[in-house]
Amino acid sequence: MQADPNANLVAQRLREWNVRAVESVSEFCGEITIAVPRELIRGAADRCRQDATLHFNLLSDIVCVDRFPLEPRFELNYHLTSIPRRDKVRLRVCLSGDDPVVDSVIAVWPGANWMEREVFDLFGVRFHGHPELRRILLPEDWEGHPLRKDYPTEGFR
For 47-59, write each residue's pLDDT tens digit. Answer: 999 999 999 999 9
3-state secondary structure of 95: strand
* Helix (H), strand (E) counts: the chain: 3, 7
The answer to whether residue 155 scores a pLDDT higher than 70 is no
**pLDDT exceeds 60 at position 125:** yes
- The DSSP secondary-structure symbol of 147 reads T
What Cα–Cα distance (Å) separates residue 8 from each residue in 27, 50, 74, 126? Answer: 11, 18, 25, 30
Q: How confident is the model at residue 146 (pLDDT cuts 50, 70, 90)?
A: very high
CATH number at 5-99: 3.30.460.80
At 62 the three-state DSSP class reads: strand
**Is 32:6 a contact under the CB 8 Å cutoff?**
yes
Angle, to 10 degrees, between the axis of helix 41-50 and the axis of helix 5-17? 120
pTM above 0.85, yes or no: yes
